[in-house]
Protein backbone atom coordinates (compact mmCIF):
# COMPACT_ATOMS: atom_id res chain seq x y z
CA UNK A 1 0.00 0.00 0.00
CA UNK A 2 1.29 3.45 -0.88
CA UNK A 3 1.56 6.02 1.86
CA UNK A 4 3.80 7.68 4.43
CA UNK A 5 5.50 6.65 7.64
CA UNK A 6 4.63 9.30 10.20
CA UNK A 7 6.82 9.94 13.23
CA UNK A 8 5.53 11.93 16.23
CA UNK A 9 7.70 13.14 19.06
CA UNK A 10 7.01 15.46 22.01
CA UNK A 11 9.93 17.81 22.65
CA UNK A 12 10.76 21.08 24.38
CA UNK A 13 9.96 24.14 22.24
CA UNK A 14 13.63 25.21 22.29
CA UNK A 15 14.61 21.90 20.62
CA UNK A 16 12.33 22.37 17.59
CA UNK A 17 14.95 23.79 15.22
CA UNK A 18 17.59 21.17 16.06
CA UNK A 19 15.24 18.19 15.94
CA UNK A 20 13.61 19.43 12.71
CA UNK A 21 17.03 19.79 11.05
CA UNK A 22 17.96 16.27 12.18
CA UNK A 23 14.71 14.77 10.86
CA UNK A 24 15.18 16.56 7.54
CA UNK A 25 18.72 15.17 7.24
CA UNK A 26 17.29 11.69 7.88
CA UNK A 27 14.89 12.07 4.94
CA UNK A 28 11.72 13.71 6.31
CA UNK A 29 9.68 15.00 3.38
CA UNK A 30 7.33 17.02 5.58
CA UNK A 31 7.37 18.47 9.10
CA UNK A 32 4.60 19.90 11.24
CA UNK A 33 4.69 21.54 14.66
CA UNK A 34 1.50 20.98 16.67
CA UNK A 35 0.25 21.59 20.21
CA UNK A 36 0.51 18.77 22.72
CA UNK A 37 -3.05 17.62 23.54
CA UNK A 38 -4.54 19.72 26.33
CA UNK A 39 -2.00 22.57 26.19
CA UNK A 40 -3.61 24.93 23.65
CA UNK A 41 -3.55 28.47 25.13
CA UNK A 42 -7.01 29.89 25.91
CA UNK A 43 -8.24 32.63 23.54
CA UNK A 44 -7.50 36.00 25.17
CA UNK A 45 -10.69 37.95 25.82
CA UNK A 46 -10.92 41.77 25.76
CA UNK A 47 -11.50 41.86 29.51
CA UNK A 48 -8.46 39.71 30.28
CA UNK A 49 -5.79 41.69 32.07
CA UNK A 50 -2.33 40.65 33.12
CA UNK A 51 0.36 39.03 31.05
CA UNK A 52 -0.40 37.32 27.76
CA UNK A 53 -0.60 33.51 28.16
CA UNK A 54 2.77 31.96 27.49
CA UNK A 55 3.24 29.50 24.64
CA UNK A 56 3.30 25.93 25.98
CA UNK A 57 6.85 24.80 26.71
CA UNK A 58 6.45 21.47 24.95
CA UNK A 59 5.37 20.89 21.35
CA UNK A 60 4.46 17.90 19.22
CA UNK A 61 6.64 17.53 16.15
CA UNK A 62 5.35 15.37 13.31
CA UNK A 63 7.49 14.20 10.40
CA UNK A 64 6.56 12.32 7.22
CA UNK A 65 8.95 9.79 5.61
CA UNK A 66 8.74 7.65 2.49
CA UNK A 67 10.50 4.87 4.41
CA UNK A 68 11.26 4.44 8.12
CA UNK A 69 14.84 5.53 8.87
CA UNK A 70 16.83 4.66 11.98
CA UNK A 71 16.32 7.66 14.27
CA UNK A 72 18.89 6.57 16.87
CA UNK A 73 18.05 7.87 20.34
CA UNK A 74 15.04 9.96 19.19
CA UNK A 75 12.15 8.20 20.93
CA UNK A 76 8.69 8.79 19.49
CA UNK A 77 5.75 6.98 17.93
CA UNK A 78 5.43 5.68 14.37
CA UNK A 79 2.24 5.25 12.39
CA UNK A 80 1.41 4.60 8.75
CA UNK A 81 -0.73 6.99 6.77
CA UNK A 82 -2.10 5.39 3.61
CA UNK A 83 -2.32 7.57 0.54
CA UNK A 84 -5.89 8.61 -0.19
CA UNK A 85 -7.74 11.31 -1.94
CA UNK A 86 -7.74 13.74 0.97
CA UNK A 87 -10.11 16.14 -0.67
CA UNK A 88 -12.77 13.52 -1.22
CA UNK A 89 -12.34 11.93 2.24
CA UNK A 90 -12.69 15.33 3.86
CA UNK A 91 -15.66 16.35 1.81
CA UNK A 92 -17.60 13.18 2.59
CA UNK A 93 -17.55 14.21 6.24
CA UNK A 94 -19.88 17.12 5.53
CA UNK A 95 -23.53 16.61 4.73
CA UNK A 96 -26.02 19.41 4.06
CA UNK A 97 -27.72 20.53 7.28
CA UNK A 98 -31.46 20.74 6.75
CA UNK A 99 -33.22 23.00 9.25
CA UNK A 100 -36.56 23.67 7.53
CA UNK A 101 -37.99 24.06 4.03
CA UNK A 102 -36.75 27.68 4.29
CA UNK A 103 -33.23 27.00 5.52
CA UNK A 104 -30.50 24.53 4.58
CA UNK A 105 -26.74 24.88 5.10
CA UNK A 106 -24.60 23.30 2.40
CA UNK A 107 -20.97 23.19 1.31
CA UNK A 108 -20.02 24.52 -2.15
CA UNK A 109 -19.85 21.00 -3.63
CA UNK A 110 -23.29 19.89 -2.44
CA UNK A 111 -25.91 19.82 -5.11
CA UNK A 112 -28.61 21.53 -3.08
CA UNK A 113 -30.58 24.28 -4.67
CA UNK A 114 -33.32 26.62 -3.61
CA UNK A 115 -33.99 29.98 -2.03
CA UNK A 116 -33.26 28.80 1.49
CA UNK A 117 -29.72 27.54 0.94
CA UNK A 118 -26.71 29.13 2.64
CA UNK A 119 -23.34 28.00 1.30
CA UNK A 120 -20.55 27.73 3.87
CA UNK A 121 -17.01 26.68 2.92
CA UNK A 122 -15.90 24.23 5.66
CA UNK A 123 -12.48 24.77 7.12
CA UNK A 124 -12.33 28.55 7.08
CA UNK A 125 -13.70 29.14 10.59
CA UNK A 126 -15.88 27.41 13.19
CA UNK A 127 -19.46 26.93 12.07
CA UNK A 128 -20.48 24.51 9.35
CA UNK A 129 -23.77 23.52 10.96
CA UNK A 130 -22.66 20.01 11.84
CA UNK A 131 -22.02 20.95 15.48
CA UNK A 132 -24.99 20.58 17.80
CA UNK A 133 -24.49 24.07 19.29
CA UNK A 134 -24.62 25.75 15.88
CA UNK A 135 -27.65 23.69 14.90
CA UNK A 136 -29.60 24.71 18.00
CA UNK A 137 -28.97 28.38 17.13
CA UNK A 138 -30.07 27.75 13.54
CA UNK A 139 -33.33 26.25 14.83
CA UNK A 140 -33.84 29.29 17.08
CA UNK A 141 -33.19 31.63 14.15
CA UNK A 142 -35.69 29.75 12.03
CA UNK A 143 -38.30 30.29 14.78
CA UNK A 144 -37.45 33.85 15.74
CA UNK A 145 -36.34 35.57 12.51
CA UNK A 146 -38.15 38.84 11.84
CA UNK A 147 -38.07 39.70 8.12
CA UNK A 148 -36.77 43.24 7.73
CA UNK A 149 -35.47 43.25 11.32
CA UNK A 150 -31.89 43.24 12.59
CA UNK A 151 -29.87 40.35 13.99
CA UNK A 152 -26.54 40.42 15.85
CA UNK A 153 -24.38 37.29 15.72
CA UNK A 154 -21.90 37.43 18.60
CA UNK A 155 -18.83 35.27 17.86
CA UNK A 156 -19.81 34.79 14.23
CA UNK A 157 -17.09 32.27 13.26
CA UNK A 158 -17.85 31.36 9.64
CA UNK A 159 -20.82 33.77 9.70
CA UNK A 160 -23.27 30.89 9.48
CA UNK A 161 -25.83 32.23 11.98
CA UNK A 162 -25.85 35.77 10.63
CA UNK A 163 -26.16 34.47 7.08
CA UNK A 164 -28.97 32.07 8.02
CA UNK A 165 -30.89 35.02 9.53
CA UNK A 166 -30.12 37.10 6.44
CA UNK A 167 -31.44 34.27 4.27
CA UNK A 168 -34.68 34.55 6.26
CA UNK A 169 -34.91 38.24 5.47
CA UNK A 170 -33.05 39.91 8.33
CA UNK A 171 -30.33 42.58 8.15
CA UNK A 172 -27.39 40.80 9.70
CA UNK A 173 -24.44 42.03 11.76
CA UNK A 174 -21.76 39.90 13.37
CA UNK A 175 -18.55 40.20 15.36
CA UNK A 176 -15.67 37.93 16.26
CA UNK A 177 -12.42 38.50 18.13
CA UNK A 178 -10.64 36.32 15.59
CA UNK A 179 -9.86 38.33 12.47
CA UNK A 180 -9.58 35.16 10.35
CA UNK A 181 -13.19 34.37 11.26
CA UNK A 182 -14.29 37.88 10.29
CA UNK A 183 -12.58 37.50 6.91
CA UNK A 184 -14.21 34.07 6.39
CA UNK A 185 -17.63 35.49 7.33
CA UNK A 186 -17.23 38.42 4.92
CA UNK A 187 -16.25 36.01 2.14
CA UNK A 188 -19.29 33.86 2.90
CA UNK A 189 -21.61 36.90 2.81
CA UNK A 190 -20.23 37.79 -0.60
CA UNK A 191 -20.48 34.24 -1.91
CA UNK A 192 -24.13 34.07 -0.81
CA UNK A 193 -24.88 37.66 -1.87
CA UNK A 194 -26.52 38.27 1.50
CA UNK A 195 -26.81 41.55 3.42
CA UNK A 196 -24.47 40.84 6.35
CA UNK A 197 -21.57 42.84 7.74
CA UNK A 198 -18.91 41.70 10.19
CA UNK A 199 -16.38 43.33 12.48
CA UNK A 200 -13.55 42.20 14.73
CA UNK A 201 -14.56 44.73 17.40
CA UNK A 202 -15.95 43.65 20.75
CA UNK A 203 -19.54 44.33 21.79
CA UNK A 204 -18.41 47.42 23.70
CA UNK A 205 -16.97 48.96 20.52
CA UNK A 206 -19.24 48.00 17.62
CA UNK A 207 -19.08 50.42 14.66
CA UNK A 208 -20.96 53.64 15.40
CA UNK A 209 -23.16 53.36 12.31
CA UNK A 210 -24.45 49.91 13.33
CA UNK A 211 -27.87 49.70 15.01
CA UNK A 212 -27.88 50.49 18.74
CA UNK A 213 -30.23 47.57 19.41
CA UNK A 214 -31.24 44.38 17.56
CA UNK A 215 -34.45 42.40 17.02
CA UNK A 216 -32.59 39.16 17.65
CA UNK A 217 -29.18 38.34 19.20
CA UNK A 218 -27.54 34.93 18.78
CA UNK A 219 -24.40 33.90 20.60
CA UNK A 220 -22.78 30.49 20.41
CA UNK A 221 -20.11 31.00 23.08
CA UNK A 222 -18.91 29.35 26.27
CA UNK A 223 -20.96 29.99 29.42
CA UNK A 224 -18.18 32.03 31.02
CA UNK A 225 -17.95 34.30 27.96
CA UNK A 226 -21.74 34.71 27.78
CA UNK A 227 -21.85 35.62 31.46
CA UNK A 228 -19.02 38.13 31.04
CA UNK A 229 -20.81 39.69 28.03
CA UNK A 230 -24.26 39.63 29.65
CA UNK A 231 -24.53 43.39 30.28
CA UNK A 232 -23.73 44.08 26.60
CA UNK A 233 -26.13 41.37 25.43
CA UNK A 234 -28.97 42.81 27.55
CA UNK A 235 -28.20 46.33 26.32
CA UNK A 236 -28.04 45.36 22.63
CA UNK A 237 -30.98 42.92 22.42
CA UNK A 238 -34.41 44.47 22.09
CA UNK A 239 -35.60 41.06 20.94
CA UNK A 240 -34.78 37.55 22.15
CA UNK A 241 -31.27 36.32 22.96
CA UNK A 242 -30.50 32.77 21.76
CA UNK A 243 -27.43 31.22 23.40
CA UNK A 244 -25.59 27.97 22.82
CA UNK A 245 -22.11 26.57 23.39
CA UNK A 246 -22.98 26.26 27.09
CA UNK A 247 -21.64 23.17 28.85
CA UNK A 248 -24.61 21.77 30.78
CA UNK A 249 -22.90 21.97 34.16
CA UNK A 250 -22.18 25.71 33.66
CA UNK A 251 -25.65 26.68 32.39
CA UNK A 252 -26.75 28.22 35.70
CA UNK A 253 -24.08 30.88 35.18
CA UNK A 254 -25.89 32.06 32.05
CA UNK A 255 -29.40 31.64 33.48
CA UNK A 256 -28.35 33.94 36.33
CA UNK A 257 -26.45 36.45 34.18
CA UNK A 258 -29.35 36.99 31.77
CA UNK A 259 -31.98 36.25 34.39
CA UNK A 260 -33.77 39.58 34.13
CA UNK A 261 -35.36 38.26 30.91
CA UNK A 262 -37.95 35.47 30.70
CA UNK A 263 -36.39 32.11 29.89
CA UNK A 264 -38.28 30.80 26.84
CA UNK A 265 -36.19 27.74 25.98
CA UNK A 266 -33.99 25.68 28.30
CA UNK A 267 -32.91 22.47 26.56
CA UNK A 268 -30.00 20.17 27.36
CA UNK A 269 -28.84 17.54 24.91
CA UNK A 270 -25.87 15.53 26.13
CA UNK A 271 -23.13 17.94 27.23
CA UNK A 272 -24.69 21.07 25.76
CA UNK A 273 -27.40 23.43 26.94
CA UNK A 274 -29.30 25.82 24.68
CA UNK A 275 -31.07 28.80 26.24
CA UNK A 276 -33.36 31.39 24.67
CA UNK A 277 -34.26 34.49 26.67
CA UNK A 278 -37.25 36.66 25.80
CA UNK A 279 -37.37 40.22 24.44
CA UNK A 280 -36.60 43.26 26.60
CA UNK A 281 -40.14 43.68 27.89
CA UNK A 282 -40.25 40.06 29.06
CA UNK A 283 -39.52 39.67 32.78
CA UNK A 284 -38.79 36.62 34.81
Q: Which residues bind ligand SAM (CB under 6 A)?
A: 43, 45, 125-127, 134, 137, 153-157, 160-161, 175-178, 181, 202, 220-221, 225, 245
- Nearer to ligand SAM by Cβ, of 28 and 154: the residue is 154
For residue 70, what is the enclosing H or E element? none
Q: How far is the CB of 244 from ligand SAM (least distance, A)?
A: 7
- Nearer to ligand SAM by Cβ, of 153 and 215: the residue is 153
Handedness of CA 138, 216, 250, 200 (dihedral sign): positive
Q: How far is the CB of 28 from ligand SAM (least distance, A)?
A: 33
- Nearer to ligand SAM by Cβ, of 62 and 135: the residue is 135
Q: How far is the CB of 91 from ligand SAM (least distance, A)?
A: 19
- Write the DSSP assignment of 141-166 as a string of letters: HHHH--TT-EEEEES-TTSHHHHHHH
Q: Could you give the dihedral angle defined by the CA atoms of residues 84, 85, 89 and 95, in that order, rounded to the nearest 10 degrees?
A: -170
Q: Is 112 helix (H, G, I), strand (E, B) or coil?
A: coil
Q: How far apart are CA 174 and CA 159, in angstroms?
A: 7
For residue 204, what is the enclosing H or E element? none
- Nearer to ligand SAM by Cβ, of 96 and 202: the residue is 202
Q: How far is the CB of 120 from ligand SAM (least distance, A)?
A: 9
Amino acid sequence: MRGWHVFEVEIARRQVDDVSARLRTLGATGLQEDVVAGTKPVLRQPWDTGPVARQPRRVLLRAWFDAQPDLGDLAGAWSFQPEEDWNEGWKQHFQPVYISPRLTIAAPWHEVQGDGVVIIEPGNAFGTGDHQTTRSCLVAIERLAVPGGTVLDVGCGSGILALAAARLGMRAFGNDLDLDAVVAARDAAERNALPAVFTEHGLDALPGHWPATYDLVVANLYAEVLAALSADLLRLADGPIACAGILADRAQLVRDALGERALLVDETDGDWTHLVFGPRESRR
